[in-house]
Amino acid sequence: MRIIMLVDMDYFFVACEELRNKEIIGKPTVVGFDPKQGKGRGVVMTCNYEARKYGIRSGMPISMAYRLKPDAIYLPLDYDWYEKVSKDVMSVIKEHAAKFEQVSVDEAFIDVSDKVSDFDDARIYARRLKDNIKNRIGLPCTIGVSYNKLLAKMACESAKPDGIGVVAESEAKAFLENKSTDDLYGVGRKTKERLEAMGFKTVGELAKANPMDMMENFGAFGIELHDYANGIDNSEVNENYEIKSIGREHTFEKDTSSEKDAIEAIDRLSKEVIEEVKKNGFAFKVITLKIRYSDFSEHLRSRSIRYSNDIKDVMTISAQLYRDNVEKDRKVRKIGVRVSGFIKRKGQKSMEDFAR
Ligand code: TTP
Ligand code: MG
Ligand code: MG
């Protein structure tokens, strides 16, 4: 029997802040861009559960958060600190796993099939792991336990915060039945709407869909979705986690249609991206420019090149992508530069350094 766990830290960035500042514990706290008395731009990265009571959420404009709770504590981002804490957390999780796959700064899958005998045993094991993270790092987390990655992740979401959620094979159908389709991995707003148009609101309904209809509408992804709805996911915990892309974004103080502003931002972002690329010993072959306009509509444009780690490539190609694609009569709110398609160059760091 396979037993998979997904460990996800609770309100991670704010929890990291709590570690070094006990005064904020228990008070509504937001990490993100400066709200500037409600005039600030950019978004909420995360907030603690006290702040969530006021409706504040990750990804929400910081100005909206400010409207909801002006006297919350607003803290700026400190990625270096969060990554340091993340590394410590991951090393504790790794100790408990036969197979370990970090999937983001604050979550990792582990395969513990050869460490526990059944789901009762797994629950005890999850409790021990959770206690170890709490005692050694000082942070709360939630652990989802199931027979595959899909359900481990969903079990975790359902048990948030500070919980342990277990879904055994015999419980999967009932667990999935009334979930919304966008609770499934890979289903965002658009797919959810398309599924709804086909008459599928819940995962239970989707489970009964005709696979051929799904295939017709979504291609191979449709079959995958139908599998997911039936609790089927055979993907392995993949130990060779690697960073897939590195990007940085900039939100302008004021929406702008000035090419000079844009190029300045691109140059600065390129510098930051390249620093990160070099730190990891990567070379990349795809450069992607993101333009977000005032109305929040977004345009992504990519170009492939020969492998490079040269800042000039990032700067000139991003600038070219900007000039070729920007709609001059519209104002730009945000610009992003991202590189991907990595190979590792000589002098690369160990896997441990990649697994961040
Ligand atoms: P999540 O695990 O999605 O969220 P969380 O840990 O803050 O809260 P919880 O798991 O208890 O629901 O994301 C982990 C961190 O990643 C989060 O603390 C901040 C960052 N993050 C962003 O920067 N932007 C985002 O849109 C999201 C969702 C998270
Ligand atoms: Mg989390
Ligand atoms: Mg997470």
Counting ligand 1 atoms within 8 A of each CB, the residue from 12, 53, 105 with the most, and so the one to mutate, is: 12
Q: Is 107 a catalytic residue?
A: yes
Check pLDDT > 60 for residue 348.
no
β-sheet with 44-47: strand ranges across: 44-47, 29-32, 73-75
> From the CB of 75, is ligand 1 less than 6 Å away?
no
- According to DSSP, the residues that pair with 299 across neighbouring strands are 291
Instruction: Give the tens place of pLDDT for each residue, 90-104.
Output: 999 999 998 999 888
Instruction: Give the tens place of pLDDT for each residue, 168-202.
Output: 999 999 999 999 999 999 899 999 999 999 999 99
* pLDDT-derived band at 280, boundaries 50, 70, 90: confident
* pLDDT-derived band at 352, boundaries 50, 70, 90: very low
Instruction: Give the tens place of pLDDT for each residue, 242-257.
Output: 677 899 999 999 999 9
Counting ligand 1 atoms within 8 A of each CB, the residue from 77, 106, 137 with the most, and so the one to mutate, is: 106
pTM of the model: 0.74
Cα–Cα distances (Å) from 100 to 4, 73, 245, in that order, read 10, 35, 20
pLDDT score for 355: 33
If DSSP codes are grouped into helix, strand and coil, which group holds residue 28?
coil
If DSSP codes are grouped into helix, strand and coil, which group holds residue 184?
coil
Choose among 169, 131, 163: nearest CA to 150: 169
- The percent of residues in the chain predicted with pLDDT above 90, rounded, is 84
Choosing from 107, 205, 242, 249, which is the catalytic residue? 107
> From the CB of 160, is ligand 1 less than 6 Å away?
yes
